[in-house]
A = this chain, B = another copy of it.
Amino acid sequence: MAEIVIIMGSESDRPHAEKISTALKAEGYAKPVGIHVASAHKQPRDVLKVLEKNAGRKVVYITIAGRSNALSGFVAGNCDAPVIACPPFSDKLDMLVNINSTLQMPSRVPVLTVLDPANAALGAMRIIALDDLDEQKKRDRQDGQVKQKSCEETSCAE
């Protein structure tokens, strides 16, 4: 099973990273989540070291950087792994101001953007589940239970 590695641009992004790692565990991710702090603007060599250490291994990156997000594209541009960007917006206005620095990527820099931390975790889990069929089947059943329960609670579509 592939590993999920979180890189965040600043120590102040840690609460956002923890939302994601908590969600990963809730989705059944069994390994410890690697979390690194390194700014693409200020410590690019540190970011490159993380990428080099993981080169040739099965890794999915989740990158967390606010304001002008150089980190996500920097990671996607310097490795061959899937990269999910989950920027830590403080509110919708922060999102409006800064989302385009995550979305407007140049050619050959495939950043996958997700706003909600739990959805970022779920997206990463779906990616690593592709090469683990049992994992996938287990999740199918679990998902079915969640949906059924949600329907029962709300008496939807009686």
Contacts and interface: CB of A to CB of B under 8 A. Distances in A.
Interface in A85-126: 91-116, 118-120, 122-123, 126
A68 B103 contact: yes
Interface residues of A, number: 90
A43 B103 contact: no
Contact of A104 (B67, B78, B143): B67
Contacts of A122: 108, 110
Interface of A: 2, 9-11, 36-50, 55-56, 58, 60, 67-70, 73-74, 76-78, 80-84, 91-116, 118-120, 122-123, 126-131, 133, 136-137, 139-140, 143, 146-147, 150-151, 153-158
